[in-house]
Structure 1
Amino acid sequence: MSALNPEELQQARRAERRKRWLAFAFVVPLLVFILLSFVAPIGAMLYRSVHHPTVAELIPQTLTQLEAWDGQGLPAEQTLNTFTVELQALAKERLSGKLAEEFNRAYAGMSSVVKSSARKLRREKTEDLQSAGGQRLLSLHKRWNEPELWFQVKRAGAPYTYDYYLTALDLEISAEGGIQSREQAQIYRQLYGKTLNMALIITLFCALLGYPLAYFLANLPDKKANLLMILVLLPFWTSLLVRTTAWIALLQTNGVINSFLMGIGLTSEPLEMLYTPFATVVAMTHILLPFMVLPLYSVMRGIDPSYLRAAMSLGAKPIPAFVRIYFPMTLPGLSAGALLVFIISVGYYITPALVGGTDGQMISNIIAFHMQSSNNWELAAALGSLLLGLILLLYWVYDRFVGASNIKLG
């Protein structure tokens, strides 16, 4: 075979480049979709969790003067005068409510103080406030005399801050500058623990129910297995809202289950099942069970049944043969199903909100609350970022001890 001359070699290279560019052009829509629907939202969430310039935009001159304050006692009188003038200006522009909301996040109980003070200062003369506004402010409410308040205002004025991550971990910065546990109610660490605990329980229940079901389907003839697989896939064809509300009808006080138990005499009064962690676990196990069955089934269908028969023909008992021969070969499917169920259940929102009540809600419901009701998007972003980091950490631990390459979907 003769070697290609330079001109033919150049043409071959151009053809190869065209093929590569054509293949890349087909992939571009997918890359754009991933960028817009996945990378960009996560990047925006991470940025929003540390960027909060609201206070800096509302009282810029006060914050500039607070930089020279050493944190001991009250700020200088000129600083208080400047804040009073800026608070009056915000009141006239109807922005004092926004500042009150920010102050309340930084220092609990300040919302009403800021609003009432702004209403009173609105009628004052600006010239008087420029010279004696600090004394007037301190006389309006005793909380303006607390140095801790001004320390928190100074911290809240930083455009970039990690305070929301501290809040998400039930921590705060003390007046001395150290990190300490929050003096107010500590809820977020408990919620993270409860979320992980419930996700683990849901994963275990899905494995206990899904493994024998997948084994049964994998050992049926193809025609019967395909027919029964339709029942496994049926939940995917039903609205999530319909499946969740069906559990409400089953678990409520006068629902089907309580009526049945009372009808056969097992209980004399209805059991409290709805709006509990039990309801969340049961409903989510039912909803997420197909995510465990499908990977297990696809892996089990590829296992040669002659391995198990050969082990028993050599004298092994059925259960030891199953544990030592068959079960290890199903670990790739079990691992994939467990990861799918666990990760999905950690971030689930609709089902815990509908059937879990206060006790059965998870961290995702609190994130939604801060985004929809309290409008504290920065704290919601911090909570979401920590949840993302926790999932990545668990995945890293799994990869470290088990190996991500062992995950197979069939």
Structure 2
Amino acid sequence: MADATISGGLPQGRGAKTASPGGPMLAADGTPLRASLARSLRRQKMRALLLIAPLLLFILVTFVMPIGDMLFRSVENHIVADTLPRTVAALRDDPSEVPGEPVFRAMAEDLQVAVEEKTHTQLGTRLNYESSGMSSLLRGTGRDVKGMGEDVAKAVTGLDDAWEEPGTWVALLADPAWVQTQAEWAAADDKSPEPAFAASAAATERLPRTVEAYQAFAHVTQADDGDSVTEEEPWNLAYVALADDLRADPGAAEAFEGDNRARLDALSAAVADGTVPAVSYRDMFVESDDAWGEPGTWSVLRTFSSRFTPGYYLNAVDLKLGPNGIEMREPKDRIYLQLFVRTLVMSLVITGTCILLGYPIAFLLANLPERTANLLMILVLLPFWTSLLVRTSAWKVLLQQQGVINDILVWLGIVGDGNRLALINNQTGTIIAMTHILLPFMILPLYSVMKGIPKSYVRAAKSLGANDWTAFWRVYFPQSVPGIGAGSILCFILAIGYYITPELVGGTKGVFISNRIAYHISDSLNWGLAAALGTILLAVVMLLYWAYDRLVGIDNVKLGG
């Protein structure tokens, strides 16, 4: 016993040693054994991690990230705040049902920018999901916004042609430091973007509305169009803003010098005597479309101005955000709860039908001689070798009123020629076609489990006096339940997410919620609502899975004996 073993199972004389009596155990290389074992364990974990890293990456990219993106899209609502930032800010300070001039002025500037950037149509599409008519309203007003304030612009330029020159506006509003930087950039003739426009302190203080309108114009001109503000005449709204500033502050010209002061003095006098007309932003919008004078339009903008919204989830359960909070939708618009219920009920019916048809087939295959069972198993697997689209299209031919099944029933005299059965474009057609498609997913788990059930158990039960039914029900069937569980989970989860087959044979009464999700993704492009519907469907499946685990036990599900 000279080589007595030590903790860890290593012989003292070969794998480890002690530095001195009572000292720490050392590995063969002289390092402490504890540290050596820890280092070896880390290496093993790292190798294992590297082996599964490709699978983890695949799951992350194809499963986790898409679900995360779906969850984000179901609540994000940035387009209103990004497209109408000034309007959203102004609405916070104006609680009236139809807001005042500041909000309409902010809307005019925002919409002018949105038209130039071509984002107003996307905004209209988004708001149209919540209130019908918003898309056409924003499109129509977008066409008119460029002409708003045209009479003011003509009056101002009629006083002095210099107001038509871009240089006049730059000299009036630009910060001197920016003017110098811009001149250096122009002289260098490089390919970099023009320096972002910066207003002078005097202009910002005495002509605030003009600076705001001009900066919006400058941003679009420089960032989006790639042009220089020194070469472009500003929008009509800049002329309106300048007239409004001089009307609110007749002495604004005192803050400027030279030609700028002279022009502002002349323009201020023209504003005072009415040569330059006063305009109302509200009147210009209402002239474009009466809807701008209605509280409902502004209620929609207020309700969906937040960057995150529960609106998609509310729509998915036939609710909506209204002026007074959450409201039920009109009865004619309540479709999603009905679709969810139909999807769940029909998926359960299809699963039950697969059990009724698949169990005897699997029982037969498991108890036939192996050669015969293998030949019949080819017939079970044969549908997998045929395109899903082809199989579904074949059912369209079989089930239609002038199809093969109805012709056979008429020929046999079971139904009259004038009373042919409606087997397609309804729930019946969906159940028949999907049962056929999902039946192999029930048969295969059942067959695998039944093959593992020893036949001697049934013989033993019969030898103890049980009849055939008792032996089957009390001995054989309980052992096949794990196969039923596995097949049911496969069929139900596949059925609840199907959309091709219901779309082709279901008509309007046999479609699933997945068909509506596909519609919003590919046709209406309402990805937020599609994401909300998909998230709710996923949550329902997870809830049912949890309930199944609590009632039956997922550990009792087997794919083999």
Please state whether the residue corresponding to 1:173 is helix, strand or coil: strand
Q: Identity rate of aligned residues, in percent? A: 47
Contact 2:70 2:531 survives alignment (8 Å): yes
Name the residue aligned to 2:194. none
For 1:262 and 1:69, locate their aligned partners in 2 and report how far apart those are by CA, in whole Å.
72
Residue identity in the other structure for 1:268: D
Q: How many residues align?
A: 408
Please state whether the residue corresponding to 1:361 is helix, strand or coil: coil
Are 1:35 and 2:35 counterparts? no
Residue pairs, 1:305-320, within 5 angstroms:
305-320=455-470
Q: Structure 1 residues 11, 78: closer, same or farther in 2, change over 3 A?
A: closer
For 1:228 and 1:11, locate their aligned partners in 2 and report how far apart those are by CA, in whole Å.
59
Kindly state the Cα deviation for residue 14 of structure 1 after the two structures are TM-superposed: 4.9
Please state whether the residue corresponding to 2:320 is helix, strand or coil: strand
For 1:364 and 1:385, locate their aligned partners in 2 and report how far apart those are by CA, in whole Å.
11
Are 1:296 and 2:446 counterparts? yes
Q: Structure 1 residues 355, 139: closer, same or farther in 2, change over 3 A?
A: same
The structure showing larger relative contact order (alpha-carbon pairs under 8 Å, at least 6 residues apart) is 1
For 2:323 and 2:551, locate their aligned partners in 1 and report how far apart those are by CA, in whole Å.
43
Equivalent residue in structure 1 for 2:290, among 142, 154, 159: 142
Please state whether the residue corresponding to 2:148 is helix, strand or coil: coil
For 1:325 and 1:69, locate their aligned partners in 2 and report how far apart those are by CA, in whole Å.
76
Residue identity in the other structure for 1:230: I
Kindly state the Cα deviation for residue 68 of structure 1 after the two structures are TM-superposed: 2.4
Are 1:226 and 2:342 counterparts? no
For 2:468 and 2:301, locate their aligned partners in 1 and report how far apart those are by CA, in whole Å.
70
List runs of 5+ in structure 2 lacking aligned partners: 6-10, 17-25, 150-236, 245-278
Equivalent residue in structure 1 for 2:92, among 61, 67, 85: 67
Name the residue aligned to 1:182. 329
Contact 1:92 1:122 survives alignment (8 Å): no
Q: Which moved more, 1:41-50 or 1:180-189?
A: 180-189
Please report the RMSD computed on the Cα atoms of aligned residues, expressed in angstroms: 2.0
Kindly state the Cα deviation for residue 357 of structure 1 after the two structures are TM-superposed: 1.9
Kindly state the Cα deviation for residue 12 of structure 1 after the two structures are TM-superposed: 6.0
Higher alpha-carbon Rg: 2
Equivalent residue in structure 2 for 1:51, among 44, 63, 76: 76
Residue pairs, 1:396-407, within 5 angstroms:
396-407=546-557
Name the residue aligned to 1:111. 135
Residue pairs, 1:184-203, within 5 angstroms:
185-203=333-351
For 2:39 and 2:288, locate their aligned partners in 1 and report how far apart those are by CA, in whole Å.
79
Kindly state the Cα deviation for residue 79 of structure 1 after the two structures are TM-superposed: 0.7
List runs of 5+ in structure 1 lacking aligned partners: none
For 1:113 and 1:368, locate their aligned partners in 2 and report how far apart those are by CA, in whole Å.
27
Superposed CA offset, 1:323-364 (max 9, x none): 222211111110111011001100011111112122211111
Please state whether the residue corresponding to 1:201 is helix, strand or coil: helix
Kindly state the Cα deviation for residue 93 of structure 1 after the two structures are TM-superposed: 4.0
Residue pairs, 1:154-303, within 5 angstroms:
154-177=302-325, 179-183=326-330, 185-266=333-414, 267-269=416-418, 270-303=420-453
Kindly state the Cα deviation for residue 182 of structure 1 after the two structures are TM-superposed: 1.2
Contact 2:398 2:404 survives alignment (8 Å): yes
For 2:530 and 2:473, locate their aligned partners in 1 and report how far apart those are by CA, in whole Å.
45
Residue identity in the other structure for 2:473: V
For 1:155 and 1:79, locate their aligned partners in 2 and report how far apart those are by CA, in whole Å.
15
Residue pairs, 1:300-379, within 5 angstroms:
300-379=450-529
Are 1:77 and 2:77 counterparts? no
Kindly state the Cα deviation for residue 16 of structure 1 after the two structures are TM-superposed: 4.8
For 2:401 and 2:67, locate their aligned partners in 1 and report how far apart those are by CA, in whole Å.
41
Residue identity in the other structure for 2:27: E
* TM-score between the two structures when normalised by the length of structure 1: 0.93
* TM-score between the two structures when normalised by the length of structure 2: 0.69
For 1:176 and 1:248, locate their aligned partners in 2 and report how far apart those are by CA, in whole Å.
48
Name the residue aligned to 1:392. 542
Name the residue aligned to 2:27. 7
Contact 1:195 1:363 survives alignment (8 Å): yes
Q: Structure 1 residues 22, 90: closer, same or farther in 2, change over 3 A?
A: closer
Are 1:86 and 2:110 counterparts? yes
Are 1:120 and 2:269 counterparts? no
Contact 2:97 2:299 survives alignment (8 Å): no
Contact 1:52 1:160 survives alignment (8 Å): yes
Contact 2:98 2:294 survives alignment (8 Å): yes
Name the residue aligned to 2:268. none
Kindly state the Cα deviation for residue 316 of structure 1 after the two structures are TM-superposed: 2.4
Please state whether the residue corresponding to 2:315 is helix, strand or coil: helix
Q: Structure 1 residues 93, 333: closer, same or farther in 2, change over 3 A?
A: same
Q: Which moved more, 1:206-215 or 1:20-29?
A: 20-29
Contact 1:66 1:154 survives alignment (8 Å): yes
Superposed CA offset, 1:357-388 (max 9, x none): 22211111110110101111111000000000
